[in-house]
């Protein structure tokens, strides 16, 4: 009762990193709230994961195993989560802000008529006093999230309804196993009692891995490479940085003409015009035909070994040096500084 | 034999938070939200296109827009008309104000019940609230199945709708019975442009509120206007329990809002040393530019 529940997501027979990050976070929240951490895992053969969940601090593991639950399906999965949360009445329930978590959690929150905060990047415990009524609340979950296209950071609370529910972005919290695993309990969920035939009306016909289409226009962070990157192979540096920052890779026309990048990535007068919140220009000189497509970006970082390159003049941060040294350092620093 | 479908597209009017250029910034580097133009939420455009494609394939089908917002959100309905929709409803009432996603989805679901569609198509996510919660919550309130992140509604297979979904690492094709809620992802095809013929015909479409407002008044004969009336629905029209609307129906509260400072005060020159780069990355973290 009144514990913290973490929904454990699995992918390809492994627990998703975000679920372990949430368990790690839940341990410290539980300490502050003097409550316990519980995990809920659903699938066709997931009991094998219990040791790992104990290692990350789950004190009770709720396991729902059923052959029909091999792949994630909204209706049966949400039926189980709703049933367990109704029965156990936790004070907090957390989900990864993954495609599964963001499909599942809102459906659950609607059924429980409890608030849900989307895509949080930080969670804290704090108090609240309602201005109008003067009513005081102790130990609420502060759910901190970017909104408005990343232009504001909002702290959301859920004073009256339980559980306080949130989805949390992948990779923003630390993932740390305990030295000594918890000796916890396992509760097996009777799926046959919960699931109804109507839960299986949506069928998966086919699933396969497919490369995503290039979408530089929609990306809040763009890392664009120019002729100075040198080769198609060396563009990998940019993809590596993009992967950690959650960015898209763009290119100058010279880079596209040289075959370093696909033409769909070209930014500029004859390419696409972008206005992301962060634009990192790498090995791009900054000719007007290029800058016409990006100079309205909210923040620009230029990386160029020529101190006189025009790109430096429109940059908020101009890094003068060799991109081959700078990008690996950026990745290293990102990893050191991200929690 | 072709089937005729009744399709509701959920569309929200939002400030254009994607293109926050230097001109929409205040001196202190934060966004001037009032300076952002109000637009048709981008993924709702993708949703509209999916609905129009179904209508192309199943002639006689009807595409209706449903938007909840202030009186000026009637623009969403007109925009829908210009691109080929058959009509729409503006849900507007002071009692809807201050809604979080739960109260928003309650209001939308009550209006949808009144319309009784075969398919509800929403965008995946609105670019202001950024939650992507309304679609699944509407589905739950209606007790409909949901298919999220649709990239292509490929068609009907018997009585079931076939939908291709875009996931983090691939695609999935599913089949759902109707009625259902589909949310559409940005990777779906762009919406077709406005059609000149529709533009001429519907530019005079007005809500009653707009007609009362002289500024919006058009010089059409009364009969023509009645034809082009955009319905406005409030709590009284859709029914339901007032406690679930607006602020009182919203369990989440915004406690605090912090504006992000995007812009460095002045251009800084850095070397390629690890120290310089590390301090830059730290700064980007603390300004939430990355994270
Ligand atoms: C009609 C017309 C339309 C055009 N449209 C476009 C367009 O849409 N988009 C576009 O981009 N261009 C366009 N161009 C081309 C444009 O004029 C430039 O030629 C092009 O932008 C140059 O690309 P670049 O900066 O990558 O290459 P370069 O100008 O060759 O610059 C490469 C830069 O990399 C730097 N560098 C080299 N090695 C390193 C290293 N190891 N570390 C760090 N820096 C390094 C160099 O100092 C140099 O500044 C157009 C031109 C015309 C005439
Ligand atoms: C800073 C900030 C943070 C917020 N955080 C949260 C939060 O964490 N949790 C929460 O519950 N609420 C939150 N809200 C409130 C939320 O933004 C509103 O409830 C909003 O009405 C709907 O949410 P959304 O914009 O995220 O829509 P989404 O859920 O992202 O929208 C998905 C789709 O639903 C449809 N849709 C959404 N709204 C409408 C509408 N008005 N009319 C027609 N169709 C619509 C559209 O098709 C849209 O593409 C927040 C608001 C602010 C200002």
Q: State the DSSP string of A88-141.
A: H--SEEEEESSTTHHHHHHHHHHHHT--EEEEESEEEEEEEE-TTT--EEEEEE
B193-217 mean pLDDT = 86
B240 and B284 part of one domain: no
Q: In A, which residues are within 8 Å of B186 by CB distance?
A: 215, 218
- Do residues B74 and B208 make contact, with C-beta atoms less than 8 angstroms apart? no
Model confidence at B13: pLDDT above 90: yes
Query: Please, what is the Cα angle at B104 between B101 and B106, to 5 degrees?
Result: 110
B226 and B101 part of one domain: yes
Gyration radius of chain A over CA positions = 24
Give pLDDT tens digits for B159-176.
Answer: 999 999 988 768 899 999
Tell me A53's DSSP state. Answer: H
Residue B270 lies in a domain: yes
Q: What is the dihedral of CA A100, A106, A111, A116, to 10 degrees?
A: 130
Distance from CA of A214 to the nearest CA of B (A): 9
Task: Return d(Cα B206, Cα B212) in angstroms, integer.
Answer: 10
Ligand 2 atom with the shortest distance to the CA of B126: 30
Residue B228 lies in a domain: yes
Residue B163 lies in a domain: yes
Is B267–A103 a contact, with Cβ atoms under 8 angstroms apart?
Answer: no
Pairs of residues, one from chain A and one from chain B, whose beta carbons lie less than 8 Å apart: 254
B240 and B266 part of one domain: no
Is B177–A121 a contact, with Cβ atoms under 8 angstroms apart?
Answer: no
Residue B255 lies in a domain: no
B202 and B270 part of one domain: no
Is B145–A74 a contact, with Cβ atoms under 8 angstroms apart?
Answer: yes
> Which residues of chain A does CATH 3.40.50.1220 include?
221-337
Domain that holds residue B73: 6-249
Provide CB contacts within 8 A for A85, sequence distance 6+.
A5, A93, A108, A112, A163
B112 and B23 part of one domain: yes
B269 C-alpha to ligand 1 centroid (Å): 21
Give pLDDT tens digits for B94-118.
Answer: 999 999 999 999 999 999 999 999 9
Beta strands A122-129 and A164-168, pairing class: unpaired
B234 and B278 part of one domain: no
Residue B208's CATH number: 3.40.50.620
Ligand 2 atom with the shortest distance to the CA of A120: 8
Provide CB contacts within 8 A for B94, sequence distance 6+.
B246
Task: Return d(Cα B5, Cα A109) in angstroms, integer.
Answer: 30
Facing B291 at nearest CB: one of A121, A152, A215: A121
For A4-200, give the CATH class.
alpha beta
Confidence category of residue B222, pLDDT binned at 50, 70, 90: low
For residue B131, give the 3-state DSSP assignment: coil
pLDDT of B265 reads: 42
Distance from CA of B182 to the nearest CA of A (A): 11
B10 and B68 part of one domain: yes
Beta strands B229-230 and B206-207, pairing class: parallel
pLDDT of B29 reads: 60
B12 close contact with A: CB closer than 8 A: no
Confidence category of residue B264, pLDDT binned at 50, 70, 90: very low
Facing B170 at nearest CB: one of A111, A208, A317: A208
Beta strands A278-282 and A248-251, pairing class: unpaired
- Our answer on whether the CB atom of A166 is closer than 6 Å to any ligand 1 atom is no
pLDDT of B217 reads: 59
Is B271–A321 a contact, with Cβ atoms under 8 angstroms apart?
Answer: yes
Q: In A, which residues are within 8 Å of B149 by CB distance?
A: 99, 103
Confidence category of residue B220, pLDDT binned at 50, 70, 90: low
Model confidence at B215: pLDDT above 70: no
B39: exposed, middle or buried (Cβ count in 10 Å: 0-12, 13-18, 19+): buried
B180 and B287 part of one domain: no
B44 and B182 part of one domain: yes
Confidence category of residue B261, pLDDT binned at 50, 70, 90: low
Six-digit token string for B167? 């996931």
CA A193 to chain CA centroid, Å, is 33
Task: Return d(Cα A8, Cα A333) in angstroms, integer.
Answer: 30
Confidence category of residue B67, pLDDT binned at 50, 70, 90: very high
> CA nearest A323 in B: which residue?
B272
Low-confidence ranges of chain A (pLDDT < 70): 1, 210-213, 339
Produce one character per residue of A228-249: b if its CB has 16 or more CB atoms within 10 Å, e if not.
Answer: bbbeeebbebbeebbeebebbb
- Do residues A63 and A41 make contact, with C-beta atoms less than 8 angstroms apart? yes
Domains held by chain B: number: 2
- CATH architecture observed for domain A221-337: 3-Layer(aba) Sandwich (3.40)
φ, ψ at A193 (rounded to 5°) = -75, -25
B169 and B240 part of one domain: yes
Nearest to B289 by CA among A148, A298, A284, A144: A298
pLDDT of B19 reads: 63
> CA nearest A336 in B: which residue?
B278
């Amino acid at each position: 009762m009144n514990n913290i529940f973490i929904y454990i997501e699995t992918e390809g027979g492994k627990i998703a990193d975000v679920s372990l990050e949430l368990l790690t976070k839940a341990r410290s929240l539980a300490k502050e709230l003097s409550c316990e951490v519980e995990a809920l895992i659903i699938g066709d053969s997931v009991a094998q994961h219990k040791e790992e969940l104990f290692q990350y601090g789950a004190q009770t593991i709720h396991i729902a195993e059923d052959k029909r639950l091999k792949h994630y399906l909204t209706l049966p999965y949400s039926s189980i989560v709703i049933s367990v949360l109704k029965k156990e009445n936790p004070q907090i329930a957390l989900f990864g802000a993954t495609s599964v978590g963001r499909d599942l959690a809102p459906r659950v929150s609607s059924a429980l008529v409890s608030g849900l905060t989307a895509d949080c990047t930080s969670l804290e415990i704090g108090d609240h006093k309602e201005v109008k009524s003067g009513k005081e609340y102790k130990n609420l979950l502060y759910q901190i999230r970017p909104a408005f296209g990343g232009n504001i950071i909002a702290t959301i609370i859920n004073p009256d309804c339980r559980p306080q529910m949130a989805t949390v972005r992948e990779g923003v919290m630390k993932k740390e196993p305990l030295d000594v695993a918890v000796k916890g309990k396992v509760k097996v969920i009777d799926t046959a009692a919960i699931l109804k035939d109507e839960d299986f009306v949506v069928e998966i016909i086919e699933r396969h891995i497919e490369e995503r289409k290039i979408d530089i226009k929609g990306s809040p962070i763009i890392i664009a490479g120019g002729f100075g990157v040198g080769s198609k192979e060396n563009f990998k540096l940019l993809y590596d940085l993009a992967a950690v920052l959650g960015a898209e890779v763009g290119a100058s026309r010279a880079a596209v003409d040289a075959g370093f990048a696909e033409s769909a990535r070209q930014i500029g007068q004859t390419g696409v015009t972008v206005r992301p919140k962060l634009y990192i220009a790498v090995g791009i000189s900054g000719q007007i035909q290029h800058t016409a497509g990006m100079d309205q970006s909210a923040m620009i970082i230029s990386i160029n070994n020529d101190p006189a390159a025009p790109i430096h003049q429109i940059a908020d941060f101009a890094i003068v040096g060799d991109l081959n040294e700078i990008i690996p350092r950026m990745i290293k620093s990102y990893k050191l500084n991200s929690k | 034999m072709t089937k005729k479908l009744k399709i509701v597209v959920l569309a929200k009017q939002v400030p254009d938070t994607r293109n926050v250029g230097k001109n929409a910034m205040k001196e202190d580097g934060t966004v001037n939200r009032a300076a952002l133009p109000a637009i048709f939420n981008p993924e709702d455009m993708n949703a509209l296109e999916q609905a129009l494609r179904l209508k192309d394939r199943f002639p006689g089908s009807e595409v209706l827009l449903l938007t909840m917002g202030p009186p000026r959100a009637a623009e969403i309905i007109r925009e829908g008309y210009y691109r080929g929709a058959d009509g729409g409803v503006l849900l507007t009432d002071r009692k809807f104000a201050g809604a979080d996603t739960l109260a928003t989805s309650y209001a939308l679901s009550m209006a949808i019940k009144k319309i009784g569609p075969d398919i509800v198509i929403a965008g995946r996510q609105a670019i202001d609230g950024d939650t992507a919660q309304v679609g699944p919550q509407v589905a739950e309130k209606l007790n409909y199945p949901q298919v999220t992140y649709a990239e292509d509604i490929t068609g009907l297979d018997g009585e079931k709708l076939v939908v291709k979904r875009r996931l983090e690492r691939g695609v999935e094709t599913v089949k759902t019975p109707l009625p259902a809620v589909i949310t559409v992802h940005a990777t779906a095809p762009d919406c077709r442009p406005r059609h000149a013929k529709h533009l001429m015909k519907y530019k005079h479409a007005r809500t009653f509120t707009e007609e009362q407002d002289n500024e919006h008044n058009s010089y059409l004969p009364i009969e023509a206007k009645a034809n082009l009336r955009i319905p406005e629905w409030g709590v009284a029209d859709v029914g339901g329990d007032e406690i679930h609307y607006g602020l009182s129906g919203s369990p989440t509260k915004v406690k605090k809002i912090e504006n992000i400072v995007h812009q460095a005060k002045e251009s800084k020159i850095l070397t390629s040393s690890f120290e310089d780069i590390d301090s830059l990355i730290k700064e980007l973290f603390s300004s939430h530019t990355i994270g």
